[in-house]
């Protein structure tokens, strides 16, 4: 007589090897992704740049990194659907880990741009592949909680990045990030591929990882653009309000110099908490859309306070940064929605490109912000960029299809 197989508990599902490894991978990813934002000023000062050059060159280097994310998002997304989610998790971390180690040796801004571009290409694959793998492995009633755990743990990498820079010279911070990435490769040995993908992989008649399929069908294109649109407020907060918080601090008349690295850290403290919370809110409300709408509304209110709330002390600005981070903690749900919107043969392509398209829009945001500063004040310039991002974000989340409890075993044809 066979012993009956006991069903796995929710705990064993949520703390299985793929979830843990995806979370740690995203931890290293975020550490490396945000490291330039944290070391931007000290690293460029050490390269001999003036205060004006630091602002201009710093924005340019950030744009190169974000450009790498755009290209890498497509590259790794297509590879994830053609070759598997695990191939992306291995390939991406090798690329950005080696690029970050090389950043520790940089001697001039031009090489800095090239290396941050390569790092951006590598960093593009981690989140989408991890969320796709976890979404397909977990039971559908645990998907929201599982993906929020991955994002919540991962976002703590920003906090570790800040304190690493506080205790070590900026070059050493790059070496540490690259070393953590190489070490993580050892943990990935033995992690299994998604069963849903494995079943689809052998279906030779199915088009896999065809990025153009997202653009040549009106329904798919609409869903894809809305997935990107709902994420715009997240990187408005990180790429504009937090990254250039030193400029906003001066405009607000705050006497104490604002440290962008510290602003980013507090933003990510809130973001990590928000990501943990967003999964449980979605689970409780049985709706991805309601959870994102609530948190996006909190982000809008905090943005108004940040720009027009009469902040006069650095500690108050950092506090609002934490609340902004809490609001954009819908990042986990936003990426999960991107994965759930599309069939198995396009899921990694969508889930990997969507967050990187959002990150890539920072190029447009910083360009607009810089252009507006020629005619408006710094506060007004930030507000104008924010208005555009929130208008698109709210429209997108209100009109995109709900995906809570959706069965993911389907194909795009």
Q: Where are the domains of the chain?
A: 17-192+207-399
Residue 236 CA to residue 238 CA, distance in Å, equals 6
Q: In the prediction, which pLDDT does 189 show?
A: 67
Q: In the prediction, which pLDDT does 222 show?
A: 95
Q: Are 396 and 226 in contact (CB under 8 A)?
A: yes
Could you identify the residue written with the tokens 């602002």? 55
Q: Are 342 and 209 in contact (CB under 8 A)?
A: no
Q: In the prediction, which pLDDT does 1 show?
A: 46
pLDDT 10s digits, 223-239: 999 999 999 999 999 99
Q: Give the ranges where 47-103 is alpha helix by DSSP (H).
A: 51-82, 85-103
Q: In the prediction, which pLDDT does 299 show?
A: 97
In the chain, which residues have pLDDT < 70?
Answer: 1-11, 188-195, 197-199, 201-202, 204-205
Q: Give the ranges where 155-237 is alpha helix by DSSP (H).
A: 156-167, 170-187, 195-201, 218-229, 232-236
Could you identify the residue written with the tokens 């290209």? 71
Q: In the prediction, which pLDDT does 55 show?
A: 80
Residue 230 CA to residue 246 CA, distance in Å, equals 27
CATH class of 17-192+207-399: mainly alpha
């Amino acid at each position: 007589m066979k012993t009956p197989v006991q069903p796995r508990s929710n705990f064993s599902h949520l703390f299985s090897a793929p979830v843990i490894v995806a979370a740690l991978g995203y931890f290293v990813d975020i550490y490396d992704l945000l490291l330039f934002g944290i070391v931007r000023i000290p690293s460029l000062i050490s390269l001999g740049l003036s205060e004006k050059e630091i602002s201009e060159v710093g924005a340019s280097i950030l744009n190169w990194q974000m450009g790498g994310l755009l290209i890498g998002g497509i590259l790794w997304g297509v590879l994830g659907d053609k070759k598997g989610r695990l191939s992306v998790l291995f390939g991406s971390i090798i690329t950005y880990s080696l690029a970050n180690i090389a950043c520790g040796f940089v001697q001039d801004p031009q090489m800095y741009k090239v290396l941050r571009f390569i790092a951006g290409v590598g960093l593009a694959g981690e989140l989408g592949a991890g969320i796709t793998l976890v979404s397909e492995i977990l039971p559908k009633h645990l998907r929201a909680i599982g993906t929020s755990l991955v994002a919540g743990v991962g976002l703590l990498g920003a906090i570790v990045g800040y304190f690493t820079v506080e205790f070590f010279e900026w070059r050493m911070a790059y070496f540490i990030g690259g070393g953590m990435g190489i070490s993580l490769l050892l943990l990935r040995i033995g992690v299994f591929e998604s069963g849903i993908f494995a079943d689809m992989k052998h279906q030779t008649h199915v088009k896999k990882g065809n990025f153009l399929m997202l653009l040549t069908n009106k329904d798919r294109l609409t869903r894809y653009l809305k997935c990107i649109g709902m994420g715009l407020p997240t990187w408005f907060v990180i790429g504009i309000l937090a990254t250039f918080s030193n400029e906003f601090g001066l405009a607000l008349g705050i006497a104490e110099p604002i440290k962008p690295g510290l602003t980013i850290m507090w933003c990510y403290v809130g973001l990590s908490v928000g990501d943990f919370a967003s999964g449980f809110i979605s689970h409780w409300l049985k709706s991805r859309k309601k959870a994102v709408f609530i948190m996006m509304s909190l982000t809008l209110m905090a943005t108004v306070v940040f720009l027009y709330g009469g902040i006069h002390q650095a500690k108050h600005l950092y506090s609002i940064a934490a609340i902004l981070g809490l609001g954009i903690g819908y990042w986990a749900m936003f990426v999960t929605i991107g994965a759930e919107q599309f069939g198995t043969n396009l899921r990694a392509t969508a889930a990997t490109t969507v967050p990187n398209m959002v990150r890539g829009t920072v190029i447009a945001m910083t360009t607009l912000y810089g252009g507006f500063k020629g005619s408006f004040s710094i506060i007004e310039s930030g507000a104008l960029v924010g208005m555009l991002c929130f208008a698109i974000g709210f429209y997108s989340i209100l009109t995109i299809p709900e995906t809570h409890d959706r069965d993911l075993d389907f194909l795009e044809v």
